[in-house]
Amino acid sequence: MADDDCEDVELFRDALTEICAHCNLFSFPDGYQLLEGLRNCNKLPDLIFVDVNMPTIDGFEALVQIRQDRKLSAIPTIIYSTSSNQDHISKAYALGASSYIKKPNDFKTLKEILKKILVLHEKF
């Protein structure tokens, strides 16, 4: 996961842990560090979650680079953003996003969304 908001990352981590005890979450504060982590890891992740608005490399550019990298391109990449702007959503899908999730306002909804994503991508 790449997100520069520590509170959002912790909320996401807590929700994921409650619904999938065997899932591991690795987080990075920006797209640059996410890409470096992905390119240097021994075991690729099953899913990638990327916020849109981040410093250094934003979520859209990170998505472009993930899709252009043969090693990473097949990994489902989900945009996870506070934005519900239709242009952002359309751009994300045009760049190859697997899904687009607007960050929910409550923990219960986040857990429900994560369950659906994990089932959709057969990771649950």
Instruction: Retrieve residue 22's tokens.
Output: 């065997």
Mean pLDDT, the chain, whole residue set: 94
Select from 73, 52, 69, 72 the least CA-distant residue to 61.
52
* Closest by Cα among 22, 111, 42, 38 to 77: 38
DSSP 5: -
Residue percentage of the chain with pLDDT more than 90: 92
Residue 123, pLDDT score? 63
Task: Quote the pTM value.
Answer: 0.93
Tell me the per-residue pLDDT of 93-116, one tens digit each, with 9 for 90 and over.
999 999 999 999 999 999 999 999
Percent of the chain residues topping a pLDDT of 70: 98
What domains, with CATH codes, occur in the chain? 6-119 (3.40.50.2300)
Quick: pLDDT tens for 5-37: 999 999 999 999 999 988 999 999 999 999 999
Instruction: Determine contact, residues 56/36, Cβ cutoff 8 Å.
Output: no
Token pair 């990352």 in the structure block, residue = 9
Residue 112 is predicted with a pLDDT of 96
Residues 6+ apart with CB under 8 A from 102: 81, 82, 83, 84
Residue 124 has pLDDT above 60, yes or no: no
Please say if the pLDDT value at position 90 is more than 80: yes
